[in-house]
């Protein structure tokens, strides 16, 4: 490539390669005052050992995004392989389906965020930074509590046949 030469992004190649990035599938529990909500999250990863940090990328148009900004906390319940139906319950916007936790057993963690009882375990985070670019905000959360409910393999987005990326 020569200096000053402009290249056009190959849209199909971009989409193909972005969809090859592997992702786990989690339920992110959020709260605002006494109200709780949850959503299926897949753009999540560890970002630091010390202090323990994770990043959670959240769609700026979602009601959960506003709840995280307001409360400064979130919890990630790690789903087990085979819990696609559980993830599905949290996939649609709250304004369309109402209380997503109606038939899901959960408890409130130290942050006050909901944690799914029937999950592999959880991480609770306090937001310590954020980057607002594009249509998602990258929330940087310091892990302030964690727990293991049982052993098992985590649910991966790729195993569901769903796509979120590209």
pLDDT value at 87 more than 70:
yes
Q: pLDDT category, 91, cuts 50, 70, 90?
A: confident
CB neighbours (10 Å) of residue 18?
11
More confident residue, 164 or 55: 55
pLDDT of residue 150: 96
Spatial separation of the C-alpha atoms in residues 52 and 15, rounded to whole Å = 31
What kind of fold does domain 22-41+63-126+143-158 have according to CATH?
A: Pnp Oxidase; Chain A (2.30.110)
CB 136 within 8 A of CB 143: no
pLDDT of residue 122: 97
Alpha helices in the chain (DSSP H): 11-18, 63-71, 84-89, 94-97, 157-160
Residue 44's beta-bridge partner residues?
56
pLDDT of residue 161: 76
pLDDT of residue 166: 61
Q: Report the chain's C-alpha Rg in angstroms.
A: 17
Nearest alpha carbon to residue 154 among 43, 25, 44, 41: 25
pLDDT in tens, 92-151: 665 554 578 888 999 999 999 999 999 999 999 999 999 999 999 999 999 999 999 999
The span from the first CA to the last CA of the chain, in angstroms, equals: 25
**Which is it for strands 121-133 and 73-78: parallel, antiparallel or unpaired?**
antiparallel
pLDDT in tens, 33-67: 989 999 999 999 999 999 999 999 999 999 999 99
Is there a cis peptide before residue 126, judged by omega within 30 degrees of 0? no
pLDDT value at 3 more than 70:
no
């Amino acid at each position: 490539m020569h200096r000053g030469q402009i290249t056009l992004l190959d849209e199909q190649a971009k989409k193909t390669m972005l969809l090859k990035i592997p992702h786990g599938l989690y339920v992110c529990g959020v709260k605002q005052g006494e109200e709780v909500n949850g959503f299926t999250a897949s753009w999540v990863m560890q970002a630091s050992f010390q202090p323990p940090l994770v990043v959670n990328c959240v769609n700026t148009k979602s009601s959960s995004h506003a709840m995280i900004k307001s409360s400064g906390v979130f919890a990630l319940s790690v789903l087990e392989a085979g819990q696609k139906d559980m993830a599905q319950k949290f996939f649609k916007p709250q304004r369309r389906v109402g209380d997503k936790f109606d038939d899901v057993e959960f408890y409130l963690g130290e942050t006050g965020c909901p944690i799914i009882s029937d999950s592999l375990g959880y991480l609770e985070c306090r937001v310590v930074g954020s980057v607002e670019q594009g249509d998602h905000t990258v929330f940087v959360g310091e892990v302030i509590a964690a727990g293991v409910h049982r052993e098992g393999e985590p649910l991966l987005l790729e195993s569901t046949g769903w796509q979120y990326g590209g």
